[in-house]
Amino acid sequence: MKIVSHKKLIDFYLEHHKAKTPLENWYKTAKCAKWKSFADVKKDFNSTDSIGNQRYIFNIKGNDYRLVVVIQFAHEYIYIRFVGTHSEYDRIESKTI
């Protein structure tokens, strides 16, 4: 999969050091993946949820962090829309991610 943009992950974990390893592990797994459907994503990340409109939410580091992405399976693209703490996500959940 092609991932846009890795820089969002880096910027986040430079401020939240405990997020670095789990986010880089997610990135490496997703980059090498050949996901064709949500079921394929669930095989690699069982706690992932679909939140509609091609958006998926990943719980990172035991749900300490949240990662919201848009996955376009046909084009093999992942767009990172949000990375943050659980509480940051709760504050913006009602807004468009």
- Asked if residue 42 belongs to a domain, the reply is yes
The answer to the question of residue 97 being in a domain is no
- Model confidence at 90, pLDDT cuts 50, 70, 90, reads confident
Cα–Cα distances in angstroms (integers) from residue 29 to residues 13, 34, 73, 78, 89, in the given order: 17, 10, 15, 12, 23
Note whether residue 18 is domain-resident. yes
Residue 95 pLDDT grade (very low, low, confident, very high; cuts 50, 70, 90): low
Q: Give the integer Cα–Cα distance in Å for 82 and 92.
A: 10
CA dist 72 and 60 (Å) reads 21
Q: Total structural domains in the chain?
A: 1
- Which CATH number do you get for residue 24? 3.30.2310
The yes-or-no verdict on residue 94 having pLDDT over 60 is: no
Burial group, residue 74, by CB count within 10 angstroms (0-12, 13-18, 19+): exposed
The owner of tokens 């974990």 is 13
Q: Is residue 93 part of a domain?
A: no
| Non-local CB neighbours of 64 within 8 Å, separated by 6+ positions | 18, 19, 85, 86
Average pLDDT over all residues of the chain: 93
Q: Is residue 95 part of a domain?
A: no
Average pLDDT in the 8-34 region? 97
Examine residue 80 and state whether it is found in any structural domain, yes or no: yes
Residue 93 has pLDDT above 70, yes or no: no
> Does residue 42 carry a pLDDT above 80?
yes
